[in-house]
Amino acid sequence: MICFEDDVVICPNDGNRLIFSMPGNRMILDKYRLDALIGRGRMGSVYRATQIILMREVAIKVLSTQLFNNPNAINRFRTEALAVAKLDHPNIIKIYDYGTLPSGGAYMAMKLLKGYPLAQEMAFVRQMPFMRILRIMQPVCAGISVAHENHVVHCDLRPDNIILDNVDGQELVQIVDFGIAQLREISNSGTLYSVHTGAAEGAPSYMSPEQCLGEKLYYTSDIYSLGVILYQMLTGSVPFDSPIGADVALQHIKTPPPFASQRRLYVRPELDQVVIKAMEKSPKKRFSSAMELLEALECALKASEEDFLQAMQKVKRPIKPTAELDKNTNPLNPEMLQIIRDSIEKGEKGSAITSPLVTPPFKSPELVTTPNQEFSKIVALVVDDDIDIVETFNAIFESVGIQAITATDGEDAWKKAKQTKPHLIISDIIMPNVDGWQLFFRCKVDPLLSEIPFIFITGRDIEEEKVVALEQGAEDYWIKPFVVLEITVRLKRLLKRINKNLG
Protein backbone atom coordinates (compact mmCIF):
# COMPACT_ATOMS: atom_id res chain seq x y z
CA MET A 1 0.00 0.00 0.00
CA ILE A 2 1.12 3.55 -0.76
CA CYS A 3 0.74 6.66 1.42
CA PHE A 4 -0.58 9.96 0.07
CA GLU A 5 -1.01 13.46 1.51
CA ASP A 6 -4.17 14.32 3.45
CA ASP A 7 -5.69 16.33 0.60
CA VAL A 8 -5.59 13.35 -1.79
CA VAL A 9 -8.83 11.40 -1.36
CA ILE A 10 -8.84 9.38 -4.62
CA CYS A 11 -5.96 7.08 -5.53
CA PRO A 12 -4.31 8.45 -8.70
CA ASN A 13 -3.27 4.91 -9.67
CA ASP A 14 -6.56 3.00 -9.62
CA GLY A 15 -9.24 5.62 -8.89
CA ASN A 16 -10.40 4.01 -5.63
CA ARG A 17 -11.23 6.11 -2.58
CA LEU A 18 -8.33 6.19 -0.12
CA ILE A 19 -8.64 4.98 3.47
CA PHE A 20 -7.75 7.42 6.26
CA SER A 21 -4.60 6.23 7.99
CA MET A 22 -2.55 8.95 9.68
CA PRO A 23 -3.00 12.74 9.72
CA GLY A 24 -0.25 15.11 8.67
CA ASN A 25 2.44 14.88 6.06
CA ARG A 26 4.69 11.93 5.28
CA MET A 27 7.54 13.15 7.49
CA ILE A 28 8.18 12.16 11.11
CA LEU A 29 10.04 15.01 12.81
CA ASP A 30 12.07 15.56 9.62
CA LYS A 31 13.87 12.29 10.44
CA TYR A 32 11.79 9.67 8.65
CA ARG A 33 9.77 9.72 5.43
CA LEU A 34 6.78 7.34 5.35
CA ASP A 35 6.79 5.49 2.02
CA ALA A 36 4.12 2.79 2.26
CA LEU A 37 1.67 1.32 4.74
CA ILE A 38 2.65 -2.24 5.68
CA GLY A 39 -0.17 -3.08 8.07
CA ARG A 40 -2.29 -2.15 11.08
CA GLY A 41 -2.43 -3.67 14.55
CA ARG A 42 -4.09 -3.09 17.90
CA MET A 43 -1.76 -0.26 18.89
CA GLY A 44 -1.14 1.46 15.57
CA SER A 45 0.04 1.30 11.99
CA VAL A 46 3.37 0.11 10.60
CA TYR A 47 4.96 1.85 7.61
CA ARG A 48 7.90 1.18 5.36
CA ALA A 49 9.93 4.36 5.70
CA THR A 50 13.28 5.96 4.89
CA GLN A 51 15.58 7.28 7.58
CA ILE A 52 16.64 10.54 5.94
CA ILE A 53 20.05 11.10 7.49
CA LEU A 54 21.29 7.55 6.75
CA MET A 55 19.10 6.93 3.67
CA ARG A 56 18.20 3.43 4.87
CA GLU A 57 14.87 1.66 4.86
CA VAL A 58 13.25 1.11 8.25
CA ALA A 59 9.86 0.16 9.63
CA ILE A 60 8.02 2.87 11.55
CA LYS A 61 5.28 1.96 14.00
CA VAL A 62 3.00 4.92 14.78
CA LEU A 63 0.50 4.91 17.63
CA SER A 64 -3.08 4.91 16.38
CA THR A 65 -4.67 8.38 16.28
CA GLN A 66 -7.61 7.09 18.33
CA LEU A 67 -5.18 6.46 21.19
CA PHE A 68 -3.34 9.80 21.15
CA ASN A 69 -5.20 11.00 24.25
CA ASN A 70 -5.11 7.68 26.04
CA PRO A 71 -2.35 7.76 28.72
CA ASN A 72 -2.50 3.98 29.20
CA ALA A 73 -2.04 3.36 25.47
CA ILE A 74 0.90 5.78 25.25
CA ASN A 75 2.49 4.14 28.28
CA ARG A 76 2.04 0.69 26.77
CA PHE A 77 3.51 1.85 23.46
CA ARG A 78 6.53 3.15 25.37
CA THR A 79 6.70 -0.14 27.30
CA GLU A 80 6.96 -2.05 24.01
CA ALA A 81 9.82 0.19 22.86
CA LEU A 82 11.61 -0.24 26.19
CA ALA A 83 11.02 -3.99 26.22
CA VAL A 84 12.51 -4.57 22.78
CA ALA A 85 15.29 -1.97 23.09
CA LYS A 86 16.79 -3.80 26.06
CA LEU A 87 16.91 -7.06 24.06
CA ASP A 88 19.96 -7.48 21.84
CA HIS A 89 19.50 -10.77 20.03
CA PRO A 90 19.49 -11.71 16.32
CA ASN A 91 16.14 -13.47 16.66
CA ILE A 92 14.33 -10.44 18.14
CA ILE A 93 13.27 -7.42 16.09
CA LYS A 94 15.71 -4.53 16.57
CA ILE A 95 14.49 -1.09 17.72
CA TYR A 96 16.45 1.88 16.35
CA ASP A 97 14.58 4.85 17.78
CA TYR A 98 11.59 5.97 19.84
CA GLY A 99 9.97 9.36 20.26
CA THR A 100 6.82 11.38 20.75
CA LEU A 101 5.01 13.50 18.18
CA PRO A 102 3.85 17.13 18.48
CA SER A 103 0.34 15.85 17.74
CA GLY A 104 0.40 13.84 20.98
CA GLY A 105 1.20 10.43 19.58
CA ALA A 106 4.38 8.37 19.57
CA TYR A 107 6.46 6.36 17.15
CA MET A 108 9.24 3.79 17.10
CA ALA A 109 11.67 2.97 14.31
CA MET A 110 12.58 -0.68 13.80
CA LYS A 111 14.53 -2.90 11.44
CA LEU A 112 12.56 -3.47 8.23
CA LEU A 113 11.87 -7.16 7.72
CA LYS A 114 11.21 -8.42 4.20
CA GLY A 115 10.27 -11.99 5.02
CA TYR A 116 6.89 -13.56 5.74
CA PRO A 117 5.17 -14.76 8.94
CA LEU A 118 5.34 -18.37 10.04
CA ALA A 119 1.55 -18.42 9.70
CA GLN A 120 1.89 -18.25 5.91
CA GLU A 121 4.16 -21.28 5.75
CA MET A 122 1.87 -23.17 8.13
CA ALA A 123 -1.05 -22.43 5.80
CA PHE A 124 0.78 -24.16 2.94
CA VAL A 125 2.24 -27.07 4.94
CA ARG A 126 -0.29 -28.08 7.54
CA GLN A 127 1.86 -30.78 9.15
CA MET A 128 5.40 -29.47 8.95
CA PRO A 129 8.37 -31.87 8.66
CA PHE A 130 9.89 -32.69 12.04
CA MET A 131 13.28 -31.19 11.22
CA ARG A 132 11.71 -28.04 9.80
CA ILE A 133 9.89 -27.59 13.12
CA LEU A 134 13.21 -27.94 14.93
CA ARG A 135 14.93 -25.37 12.69
CA ILE A 136 12.22 -22.84 13.55
CA MET A 137 11.85 -23.62 17.24
CA GLN A 138 15.60 -23.38 17.93
CA PRO A 139 15.90 -19.63 17.19
CA VAL A 140 12.45 -18.86 18.63
CA CYS A 141 13.34 -20.48 21.95
CA ALA A 142 16.73 -18.76 21.92
CA GLY A 143 15.13 -15.35 21.40
CA ILE A 144 12.40 -15.87 23.99
CA SER A 145 14.99 -17.13 26.46
CA VAL A 146 16.92 -13.85 26.12
CA ALA A 147 13.70 -11.88 26.59
CA HIS A 148 12.94 -13.77 29.78
CA GLU A 149 16.48 -13.29 31.07
CA ASN A 150 15.89 -9.55 30.64
CA HIS A 151 12.57 -9.76 32.53
CA VAL A 152 10.38 -9.33 29.42
CA VAL A 153 7.32 -11.53 28.86
CA HIS A 154 6.08 -11.35 25.25
CA CYS A 155 2.42 -12.22 26.07
CA ASP A 156 1.40 -12.53 22.40
CA LEU A 157 3.43 -15.35 20.87
CA ARG A 158 1.71 -16.73 17.78
CA PRO A 159 2.68 -17.67 14.19
CA ASP A 160 1.88 -14.16 12.91
CA ASN A 161 4.51 -12.71 15.25
CA ILE A 162 7.30 -15.03 14.10
CA ILE A 163 8.84 -13.74 10.86
CA LEU A 164 10.94 -15.91 8.55
CA ASP A 165 13.35 -13.39 7.05
CA ASN A 166 16.39 -13.80 4.81
CA VAL A 167 19.77 -12.21 5.43
CA ASP A 168 22.70 -12.82 3.08
CA GLY A 169 21.14 -16.01 1.79
CA GLN A 170 20.48 -17.46 5.26
CA GLU A 171 17.07 -17.81 6.91
CA LEU A 172 16.72 -15.59 9.97
CA VAL A 173 13.80 -16.18 12.35
CA GLN A 174 12.68 -13.02 14.13
CA ILE A 175 10.16 -12.50 16.94
CA VAL A 176 8.14 -9.30 16.52
CA ASP A 177 5.24 -7.34 18.03
CA PHE A 178 5.91 -6.97 21.73
CA GLY A 179 2.82 -4.71 21.80
CA ILE A 180 1.38 -6.21 24.98
CA ALA A 181 4.69 -7.34 26.46
CA GLN A 182 5.10 -6.92 30.19
CA LEU A 183 8.27 -5.74 31.86
CA ARG A 184 8.79 -7.66 35.07
CA GLU A 185 10.53 -5.51 37.61
CA ILE A 186 12.72 -6.47 40.59
CA SER A 187 11.51 -5.38 44.02
CA ASN A 188 13.78 -4.20 46.83
CA SER A 189 13.80 -7.72 48.21
CA GLY A 190 15.04 -9.10 44.91
CA THR A 191 11.73 -10.82 44.09
CA LEU A 192 10.44 -10.68 40.51
CA TYR A 193 6.87 -9.60 39.96
CA SER A 194 4.77 -8.69 36.92
CA VAL A 195 2.34 -5.94 36.10
CA HIS A 196 -1.24 -7.08 36.55
CA THR A 197 -3.37 -5.74 33.70
CA GLY A 198 -6.63 -7.23 35.00
CA ALA A 199 -7.72 -8.06 31.44
CA ALA A 200 -7.15 -10.93 29.03
CA GLU A 201 -5.29 -9.73 25.95
CA GLY A 202 -3.79 -11.66 23.06
CA ALA A 203 -4.90 -14.14 20.39
CA PRO A 204 -7.32 -16.59 22.11
CA SER A 205 -5.94 -19.68 20.35
CA TYR A 206 -2.47 -19.12 21.82
CA MET A 207 -3.27 -17.68 25.27
CA SER A 208 -2.28 -19.43 28.48
CA PRO A 209 -5.00 -20.29 31.03
CA GLU A 210 -3.78 -17.52 33.36
CA GLN A 211 -3.85 -15.06 30.46
CA CYS A 212 -7.43 -16.07 29.65
CA LEU A 213 -8.29 -15.33 33.27
CA GLY A 214 -6.57 -11.93 33.22
CA GLU A 215 -4.13 -12.97 35.95
CA LYS A 216 -0.50 -12.03 36.44
CA LEU A 217 1.73 -13.35 33.69
CA TYR A 218 5.15 -14.88 34.20
CA TYR A 219 7.67 -16.47 31.84
CA THR A 220 5.71 -19.70 31.83
CA SER A 221 2.85 -17.99 29.99
CA ASP A 222 5.11 -17.70 26.93
CA ILE A 223 6.08 -21.37 27.37
CA TYR A 224 2.41 -22.31 27.07
CA SER A 225 2.06 -20.27 23.86
CA LEU A 226 5.15 -22.00 22.44
CA GLY A 227 3.47 -25.32 23.21
CA VAL A 228 0.39 -24.29 21.22
CA ILE A 229 2.53 -23.18 18.25
CA LEU A 230 4.45 -26.47 18.42
CA TYR A 231 1.19 -28.43 18.47
CA GLN A 232 -0.07 -26.55 15.41
CA MET A 233 3.16 -27.12 13.46
CA LEU A 234 2.95 -30.83 14.23
CA THR A 235 -0.74 -31.43 13.53
CA GLY A 236 -1.89 -28.61 11.25
CA SER A 237 -4.42 -27.26 13.76
CA VAL A 238 -4.48 -25.56 17.14
CA PRO A 239 -5.48 -27.80 20.09
CA PHE A 240 -8.57 -25.73 20.91
CA ASP A 241 -10.70 -24.06 18.27
CA SER A 242 -14.08 -22.36 18.15
CA PRO A 243 -15.59 -19.34 16.37
CA ILE A 244 -16.37 -17.98 19.84
CA GLY A 245 -13.30 -16.62 21.65
CA ALA A 246 -14.82 -17.29 25.07
CA ASP A 247 -15.20 -20.99 24.22
CA VAL A 248 -11.53 -21.19 23.26
CA ALA A 249 -10.53 -19.47 26.50
CA LEU A 250 -12.66 -21.88 28.54
CA GLN A 251 -10.99 -24.88 26.88
CA HIS A 252 -7.54 -23.45 27.65
CA ILE A 253 -8.60 -23.15 31.29
CA LYS A 254 -10.33 -26.54 31.75
CA THR A 255 -9.78 -28.98 28.87
CA PRO A 256 -6.61 -31.11 28.53
CA PRO A 257 -5.11 -30.78 25.03
CA PRO A 258 -5.45 -33.85 22.77
CA PHE A 259 -2.28 -35.78 22.04
CA ALA A 260 -0.54 -34.70 18.83
CA SER A 261 -0.08 -38.39 18.00
CA GLN A 262 -3.86 -38.69 17.62
CA ARG A 263 -3.68 -36.32 14.66
CA ARG A 264 -0.36 -37.27 13.08
CA LEU A 265 1.57 -40.47 12.49
CA TYR A 266 5.10 -41.03 13.77
CA VAL A 267 4.76 -38.64 16.72
CA ARG A 268 6.67 -40.45 19.44
CA PRO A 269 5.25 -40.60 23.01
CA GLU A 270 8.12 -38.44 24.24
CA LEU A 271 7.15 -35.74 21.72
CA ASP A 272 3.57 -35.92 22.96
CA GLN A 273 4.87 -35.43 26.49
CA VAL A 274 6.92 -32.36 25.51
CA VAL A 275 3.79 -30.70 24.10
CA ILE A 276 1.65 -31.70 27.07
CA LYS A 277 4.20 -30.42 29.59
CA ALA A 278 4.53 -27.09 27.77
CA MET A 279 0.72 -26.76 27.89
CA GLU A 280 0.14 -27.77 31.50
CA LYS A 281 -2.72 -25.82 33.10
CA SER A 282 -0.58 -25.04 36.13
CA PRO A 283 2.36 -22.74 35.27
CA LYS A 284 4.50 -24.50 37.89
CA LYS A 285 4.23 -27.82 36.00
CA ARG A 286 5.47 -26.42 32.69
CA PHE A 287 9.07 -26.21 31.52
CA SER A 288 10.90 -23.67 33.64
CA SER A 289 12.53 -22.01 30.63
CA ALA A 290 12.40 -21.89 26.84
CA MET A 291 15.81 -23.58 26.64
CA GLU A 292 14.65 -26.45 28.84
CA LEU A 293 11.70 -26.87 26.44
CA LEU A 294 14.07 -26.83 23.46
CA GLU A 295 16.41 -29.42 24.99
CA ALA A 296 13.56 -31.89 25.45
CA LEU A 297 12.08 -31.00 22.06
CA GLU A 298 15.28 -31.64 20.08
CA CYS A 299 15.54 -35.23 21.28
CA ALA A 300 11.83 -35.93 20.78
CA LEU A 301 11.69 -34.47 17.26
CA LYS A 302 14.81 -36.36 16.15
CA ALA A 303 13.36 -39.60 17.49
CA SER A 304 10.07 -39.00 15.64
CA GLU A 305 11.98 -38.16 12.46
CA GLU A 306 13.92 -41.42 12.76
CA ASP A 307 10.69 -43.41 13.14
CA PHE A 308 9.25 -41.69 10.09
CA LEU A 309 12.32 -42.36 7.93
CA GLN A 310 12.44 -46.01 8.99
CA ALA A 311 8.75 -46.44 8.15
CA MET A 312 9.25 -44.84 4.74
CA GLN A 313 12.26 -47.08 4.10
CA LYS A 314 10.16 -50.17 4.75
CA VAL A 315 7.32 -49.22 2.40
CA LYS A 316 9.23 -47.61 -0.46
CA ARG A 317 10.26 -49.58 -3.54
CA PRO A 318 13.98 -50.35 -3.94
CA ILE A 319 15.76 -47.89 -6.22
CA LYS A 320 17.49 -49.60 -9.12
CA PRO A 321 19.34 -48.18 -12.13
CA THR A 322 16.90 -47.58 -14.97
CA ALA A 323 18.60 -49.68 -17.65
CA GLU A 324 15.28 -50.19 -19.38
CA LEU A 325 12.06 -48.25 -19.52
CA ASP A 326 10.10 -50.90 -17.60
CA LYS A 327 12.64 -50.73 -14.74
CA ASN A 328 11.85 -47.11 -13.91
CA THR A 329 11.94 -46.31 -10.18
CA ASN A 330 8.37 -45.03 -10.44
CA PRO A 331 6.40 -47.36 -12.74
CA LEU A 332 4.21 -45.55 -15.22
CA ASN A 333 0.52 -46.12 -15.49
CA PRO A 334 -0.54 -48.14 -18.58
CA GLU A 335 -1.66 -45.03 -20.47
CA MET A 336 1.68 -43.24 -20.00
CA LEU A 337 3.60 -46.43 -20.80
CA GLN A 338 1.73 -46.83 -24.08
CA ILE A 339 2.35 -43.18 -25.00
CA ILE A 340 6.08 -43.66 -24.53
CA ARG A 341 6.14 -46.92 -26.47
CA ASP A 342 4.26 -45.24 -29.31
CA SER A 343 6.80 -42.42 -29.20
CA ILE A 344 9.64 -44.92 -29.39
CA GLU A 345 8.12 -46.55 -32.46
CA LYS A 346 7.76 -43.13 -34.09
CA GLY A 347 11.30 -42.31 -33.06
CA GLU A 348 12.58 -45.22 -35.06
CA LYS A 349 11.08 -43.49 -38.07
CA GLY A 350 12.96 -40.26 -37.40
CA SER A 351 10.95 -38.38 -34.75
CA ALA A 352 12.44 -36.49 -31.79
CA ILE A 353 13.31 -38.98 -29.07
CA THR A 354 15.80 -38.82 -26.21
CA SER A 355 17.16 -42.06 -24.78
CA PRO A 356 16.46 -43.17 -21.19
CA LEU A 357 19.06 -42.32 -18.57
CA VAL A 358 20.99 -45.38 -17.48
CA THR A 359 22.64 -44.70 -14.13
CA PRO A 360 23.75 -41.74 -12.04
CA PRO A 361 25.71 -39.53 -12.35
CA PHE A 362 23.40 -38.02 -14.88
CA LYS A 363 24.67 -37.39 -18.37
CA SER A 364 23.07 -35.28 -21.03
CA PRO A 365 21.16 -37.41 -23.56
CA GLU A 366 22.12 -37.22 -27.17
CA LEU A 367 19.58 -35.27 -29.15
CA VAL A 368 18.42 -36.58 -32.48
CA THR A 369 16.29 -33.73 -33.71
CA THR A 370 16.07 -29.97 -34.16
CA PRO A 371 14.33 -27.84 -31.51
CA ASN A 372 10.56 -27.47 -31.60
CA GLN A 373 9.62 -23.87 -32.39
CA GLU A 374 6.17 -24.33 -30.85
CA PHE A 375 7.51 -23.61 -27.36
CA SER A 376 10.11 -20.97 -28.22
CA LYS A 377 8.39 -18.25 -26.14
CA ILE A 378 8.51 -20.30 -22.93
CA VAL A 379 11.25 -19.65 -20.34
CA ALA A 380 12.06 -22.29 -17.72
CA LEU A 381 14.13 -21.81 -14.56
CA VAL A 382 16.14 -24.82 -13.33
CA VAL A 383 17.47 -24.69 -9.78
CA ASP A 384 20.08 -27.24 -8.73
CA ASP A 385 23.68 -27.21 -7.52
CA ASP A 386 24.39 -30.49 -9.37
CA ILE A 387 25.93 -29.60 -12.73
CA ASP A 388 24.97 -32.97 -14.24
CA ILE A 389 21.30 -32.37 -13.49
CA VAL A 390 21.48 -28.86 -14.94
CA GLU A 391 23.11 -30.16 -18.12
CA THR A 392 20.49 -32.89 -18.42
CA PHE A 393 17.64 -30.39 -18.25
CA ASN A 394 19.40 -28.00 -20.62
CA ALA A 395 19.56 -30.84 -23.14
CA ILE A 396 15.88 -31.65 -22.62
CA PHE A 397 14.90 -28.01 -23.01
CA GLU A 398 16.96 -27.71 -26.15
CA SER A 399 15.23 -30.77 -27.58
CA VAL A 400 11.76 -29.33 -26.98
CA GLY A 401 12.74 -25.81 -28.00
CA ILE A 402 12.28 -23.72 -24.83
CA GLN A 403 14.60 -21.15 -23.28
CA ALA A 404 16.38 -22.07 -20.05
CA ILE A 405 17.94 -20.10 -17.22
CA THR A 406 19.70 -21.79 -14.31
CA ALA A 407 20.44 -21.10 -10.64
CA THR A 408 22.59 -22.95 -8.14
CA ASP A 409 20.51 -22.28 -5.02
CA GLY A 410 17.14 -20.93 -3.93
CA GLU A 411 18.37 -17.41 -3.21
CA ASP A 412 19.93 -17.09 -6.67
CA ALA A 413 16.73 -18.54 -8.16
CA TRP A 414 14.54 -16.09 -6.25
CA LYS A 415 16.44 -13.12 -7.66
CA LYS A 416 16.26 -14.47 -11.21
CA ALA A 417 12.57 -15.35 -10.88
CA LYS A 418 11.79 -11.79 -9.76
CA GLN A 419 13.79 -10.38 -12.68
CA THR A 420 12.56 -12.60 -15.51
CA LYS A 421 9.28 -14.15 -14.28
CA PRO A 422 9.75 -17.59 -15.90
CA HIS A 423 6.84 -19.69 -17.12
CA LEU A 424 8.05 -22.82 -15.31
CA ILE A 425 10.29 -23.53 -12.30
CA ILE A 426 12.01 -26.86 -11.70
CA SER A 427 13.88 -26.99 -8.40
CA ASP A 428 15.77 -29.47 -6.27
CA ILE A 429 14.59 -29.61 -2.66
CA ILE A 430 17.91 -29.83 -0.82
CA MET A 431 20.16 -26.87 -1.64
CA PRO A 432 22.46 -24.44 0.17
CA ASN A 433 21.06 -21.14 1.44
CA VAL A 434 17.36 -21.04 0.53
CA ASP A 435 16.14 -24.60 -0.13
CA GLY A 436 13.47 -25.75 -2.57
CA TRP A 437 10.64 -25.63 -0.06
CA GLN A 438 11.45 -22.05 0.94
CA LEU A 439 11.66 -21.03 -2.73
CA PHE A 440 8.28 -22.69 -3.32
CA PHE A 441 6.69 -20.82 -0.40
CA ARG A 442 8.11 -17.50 -1.54
CA CYS A 443 6.69 -17.99 -5.02
CA LYS A 444 3.28 -19.03 -3.69
CA VAL A 445 2.90 -15.89 -1.57
CA ASP A 446 4.14 -13.56 -4.33
CA PRO A 447 1.20 -12.36 -6.50
CA LEU A 448 3.38 -12.24 -9.64
CA LEU A 449 4.85 -15.73 -9.21
CA SER A 450 2.11 -17.69 -7.43
CA GLU A 451 0.59 -19.18 -10.62
CA ILE A 452 3.89 -20.37 -12.14
CA PRO A 453 3.97 -24.20 -12.36
CA PHE A 454 6.55 -25.49 -9.87
CA ILE A 455 8.13 -28.95 -10.16
CA PHE A 456 10.16 -30.48 -7.35
CA ILE A 457 13.09 -32.79 -8.12
CA THR A 458 14.70 -34.85 -5.36
CA GLY A 459 16.70 -37.95 -4.64
CA ARG A 460 14.55 -38.72 -1.59
CA ASP A 461 11.69 -41.10 -2.38
CA ILE A 462 9.57 -40.01 0.60
CA GLU A 463 5.87 -40.51 -0.05
CA GLU A 464 4.71 -38.07 2.66
CA GLU A 465 6.83 -35.26 1.25
CA LYS A 466 5.54 -35.93 -2.25
CA VAL A 467 1.91 -35.86 -1.08
CA VAL A 468 2.51 -32.61 0.82
CA ALA A 469 4.10 -31.01 -2.25
CA LEU A 470 1.20 -31.96 -4.52
CA GLU A 471 -1.41 -30.94 -1.93
CA GLN A 472 0.19 -27.51 -1.58
CA GLY A 473 0.03 -26.84 -5.31
CA ALA A 474 3.25 -28.22 -6.80
CA GLU A 475 2.81 -29.15 -10.46
CA ASP A 476 4.78 -32.39 -10.13
CA TYR A 477 7.37 -34.23 -8.03
CA TRP A 478 10.14 -36.06 -9.90
CA ILE A 479 12.39 -38.53 -8.12
CA LYS A 480 15.97 -39.16 -9.21
CA PRO A 481 17.24 -41.11 -11.08
CA PHE A 482 15.05 -40.01 -13.97
CA VAL A 483 14.02 -41.68 -17.16
CA VAL A 484 14.63 -38.75 -19.47
CA LEU A 485 12.09 -40.00 -21.99
CA GLU A 486 9.36 -40.11 -19.34
CA ILE A 487 9.92 -36.61 -17.99
CA THR A 488 10.22 -35.27 -21.53
CA VAL A 489 6.74 -36.59 -22.31
CA ARG A 490 5.39 -35.13 -19.05
CA LEU A 491 7.12 -31.86 -19.81
CA LYS A 492 5.62 -31.60 -23.30
CA ARG A 493 2.11 -31.99 -21.89
CA LEU A 494 2.77 -29.18 -19.44
CA LEU A 495 4.38 -26.96 -22.09
CA LYS A 496 1.33 -27.28 -24.32
CA ARG A 497 -0.83 -26.02 -21.48
CA ILE A 498 1.56 -23.14 -20.73
CA ASN A 499 1.74 -22.26 -24.42
CA LYS A 500 -2.05 -22.22 -24.64
CA ASN A 501 -2.25 -19.81 -21.68
CA LEU A 502 0.37 -17.57 -23.29
CA GLY A 503 -1.57 -17.53 -26.53
Q: What is the pLDDT of residue 179?
A: 62
> Which residue, 48, 79, 111, sits at the end of a domain?
111
- Does one domain contain both 97 and 159? no
- Determine if the pTM surpasses 0.85: no
- Does one domain contain both 307 and 204? yes
Q: What is the pLDDT of residue 25?
A: 63
- Does one domain contain both 162 and 291? yes
Q: What is the pLDDT of residue 231?
A: 97
- Structural domain boundaries, residue 87: 27-111
- Does one domain contain both 94 and 207? no
Distant-in-sequence, close-in-space partners of 310: CB < 8 Å, separation ≥ 6: none
Q: What is the pLDDT of residue 352?
A: 36
- Does one domain contain both 98 and 244? no
> Which residue, 315, 334, 353, sits at the end of a domain?
315
Residue 481: asked if its preceding bond is cis (omega within 30°), the reply is: yes
pLDDT in tens, the chain (503 residues): 455 555 666 776 667 776 655 555 678 888 999 988 887 766 778 889 999 999 999 999 888 776 666 777 777 778 778 778 888 899 998 888 888 888 778 888 988 888 889 998 898 888 899 999 999 999 999 999 999 998 888 888 999 999 998 777 788 999 988 766 555 443 333 333 333 333 344 578 999 999 888 888 899 999 999 999 999 999 999 999 888 877 888 899 999 999 999 999 899 999 999 999 999 999 999 999 999 999 999 999 999 999 888 887 776 544 333 233 333 333 344 554 455 455 445 444 443 333 333 333 333 344 334 455 678 889 999 998 888 888 888 888 888 888 899 998 888 898 899 998 999 999 998 877 677 887 888 888 788 898 999 999 988 777 777 887 887 788 999 888 877 788 888 888 899 899 888 87
- Does one domain contain both 201 and 239? yes
Kindly state whether residue 4 falls inside one of the protein's structural domains: no
- Does one domain contain both 298 and 194? yes
Kindly state whether residue 13 falls inside one of the protein's structural domains: no
Q: What is the pLDDT of residue 5?
A: 56
Q: What's CA 120's distance to the chain center, in Å?
A: 6
Kindly state whether residue 389 falls inside one of the protein's structural domains: yes
- Does one domain contain both 272 and 166? yes
Residue 458's domain is classified under what CATH number?
3.40.50.2300
Rounded Cα gap, residues 197 and 10, in angstroms? 42
In the set 14, 97, 156, 476, the catalytic residue is: 156
- Does one domain contain both 124 and 202? yes
* C-alpha distance from residue 435 to each of 27, 170, 408, 458, 466 (Å): 39, 10, 10, 12, 16
Kindly state whether residue 5 falls inside one of the protein's structural domains: no
Task: Please say if 435 is a catalytic residue.
Answer: no
Kindly state whether residue 301 falls inside one of the protein's structural domains: yes
- Does one domain contain both 384 and 470? yes
Kindly state whether residue 167 falls inside one of the protein's structural domains: yes
Q: How far apart are the first and last CA of the chain?
A: 32
Burial class (CB in 10 A: 0-12, 13-18, 19+), 409: buried
Residue 267's domain is classified under what CATH number?
1.10.510.10
> Which residue, 92, 111, 130, sits at the end of a domain?
111
Kindly state whether residue 11 falls inside one of the protein's structural domains: no
- Does one domain contain both 210 and 283? yes
Kindly state whether residue 18 falls inside one of the protein's structural domains: no
Count structural domains, the chain. Answer: 3
Residue 63's domain is classified under what CATH number?
3.30.200.20
- Does one domain contain both 122 and 185? yes
